[in-house]
Chains A and B, each alone.
Chain A
């Protein structure tokens, strides 16, 4: 079946489990990127999952400054618990932050949620065209 929803993951080791769960979710095509060049070479996704502990918060800033990614939803992954560090991610443009390590028991459900989120955004964008 042709995947309907594209998710771009920019992650290190901490996102590996989520990446696996997403790859097994139906109807979701997952691209993995290591850095900025990879991101720009990937097809435009419906959602970006960004491991900011791997990329640095400035990557999110760069992503938001790029015209193609200005309004693409970004789910930030981080292991940092400090409220100020997480709030900074929201200020830089993250739509949602998830704390790592993610609960292994909930991993598949969260991956399905990301797929659904991508599908809803894709449908909303199609309706707005």
Chain B
């Protein structure tokens, strides 16, 4: 991973809101990035709030340096995201007052070190549960609630979404909402690998036209979206703007990406 992205993960902006989109079959990339984010926060004395599926707790705790001690000191707390989702949704609705009460209470259990607490790093994947249940608008609403909470407290956030950006049935419209709710989209694997894979696939499908299309994609501007690696930006641009050819390119890009990631 490029050092600039390592810095984004290790030292997020005070109210940074990171997101990683990852292939469920390669959950190790999420664990690696998230635990890097956790460990650096704990090293600085920050608090840690993890709201994740119970099956991920062990990997997060095992791979985060200083995590067990932070739990003993009350600086880190883990919650089951499925259980918390059940408490957040009442009567099929997600309301701010409920969110503030449930998540606010969870946040209060975390006590950062020192007299001038440096803040809390949080991880959440309730949005992923909602996304994969096709509850897109609720997922985006939840992101907006997190953003509201971030402005009121010294809190940065890391979200994980398991989705296949190469999939033909990826829902692009709600994805806009996800990308607009975050400050940075961190690369799942090597950010260069995705860019190379897409470039190769574009050249195979479009021939010489691939190179001439690239400056237009590069000049395209979408400031509401999270800052993201070039490979992700190109992949999303293609999906939105080149129906038909996009599927062929993404199918080939996926093959190249898997081969490059396995190296």
Binding site for B on A (CB under 8 A): 73, 75, 81, 83-84, 86-87, 90, 95-99, 102-103, 106, 109-110, 112-117, 119-121, 124, 127-128
Contact = CB atoms under 8 A, between A and B. Distances in A.
B180 A110 contact: no
Interface string B232-255: 000001001111110000000000
Contacts of A127: 244
Given A86-B222, A96-B237, A98-B219, A120 B206 contact: yes
A68 B154 CA distance: 51
Interface in B184-212: 206, 209, 212
Contacts of A75: 216
Contacts of A90: 176, 222, 224
A113 B224 contact: no
A99 B180 contact: no
A99 B221 contact: yes
B220 A98 contact: yes
B91 interface: no
A58 B82 CA distance: 44
B149 interface: no
12 contacts: A87-B223, A96-B241, A98-B219, A99-B219, A110-B219, A113-B219, A116-B212, A117-B241, A121-B242, A124-B242, A127-B244, A128-B244
Contacts, number: 73
Interface of B: 176, 180, 206, 209, 212-217, 219-224, 237, 240-245
| Secondary structure class of chain A's binding surface, majority of residues | helix
B212 A109 contact: yes
B226 to A, nearest CB: 12
Given A86-B224, A98-B221, A99-B221, A124 B244 contact: yes
Contacts of B213: 113, 116-117, 120
B215 A106 contact: yes
A86 B176 CA distance: 14
| Closest A-B pairs by Cβ, 10 of them | A113-B216, A109-B215, A83-B223, A124-B244, A116-B212, A87-B224, A96-B220, A112-B212, A116-B209, A116-B213
Contacts of B220: 96-98
Contacts of A95: 240-241
Contacts of A119: 209
A108 to B, nearest CB: 9
Given A87-B180, A124-B245, A127-B244, A113 B221 contact: no
Contacts of B180: 87
Given A95-B240, A95-B241, A119-B209, A86 B221 contact: yes
Contacts of B243: 124
Contacts of B212: 109, 112-113, 115-116
B216 A83 contact: no
A120 B209 contact: yes
A121 B220 CA distance: 17
A100 B222 CA distance: 14
Contacts of A113: 212-217, 219
Contacts of A83: 223-224
A114 B216 contact: yes
